[in-house]
Amino acid sequence: MKPDYTEIVAGYKDKPGGIIEAYHAIQRAYNYIPEEAVAVAAQVFDMSKAEAWGVATFYSYLKVGERGRYIIRICESAPCHIAGAEEVVAALEKQLGIKMGETTADGKFTLELTECVGQCQATPVITINSKPYGDVTADGIADILAQCK
């Protein structure tokens, strides 16, 4: 059972940078930030909903709205692009039946683009729930996805 995000937010009320830390904690628990949690954070941190929304959507690591259990991010930086990221994206989209930015109907996978993940020695790179996979090829996608249970 997931913890109540209201309790999570309250636990960071008096901490410096508390709203960001609260959002990270919520995302660890839910794998995303529920929209309702943004409104709760606005109340707890005494700011407008727009300001709380701005914090939640400013950082690329934080995501508002439901996401899959497995977040697959592919680096879209120049080294990965040159190394064949486009073919890897096509293979991911074909095998999962979704496009970048979407989540599978069963809620298992979400595809996202990201900037450099610091693994340029092994391009193209994908991450699954922040675990990097380097030297990825379109042909290797099925084996990587099979590891997600």
**Residue 1 predicted with pLDDT over 90:** no
Alpha helices in 1-149, H assignment, sequence order: 5-10, 18-30, 35-44, 49-58, 78-83, 85-96, 141-146
Structure tokens given for 145: 């996805």
Asked if residues 90 and 109 have their Cβ atoms less than 8 Å apart, the reply is no
Rounded to two decimals, the pTM is 0.78
**pLDDT tier at 59 (50, 70, 90 boundaries)?**
confident
pLDDT at site 149 = 74
Domains defined for the chain, CATH in brackets: 5-58 (no CATH), 70-146 (3.40.30.10)
The percentage of residues in the chain with a pLDDT greater than 70, rounded to a whole number, is: 100
pLDDT at site 130 = 87
Q: What is the mean pLDDT of residues 78-92?
A: 94
Asked if residues 45 and 52 have their Cβ atoms less than 8 Å apart, the reply is yes
Q: pLDDT tens, 93-142? A: 999 999 999 999 999 999 999 888 889 999 999 999 889 999 999 999 99
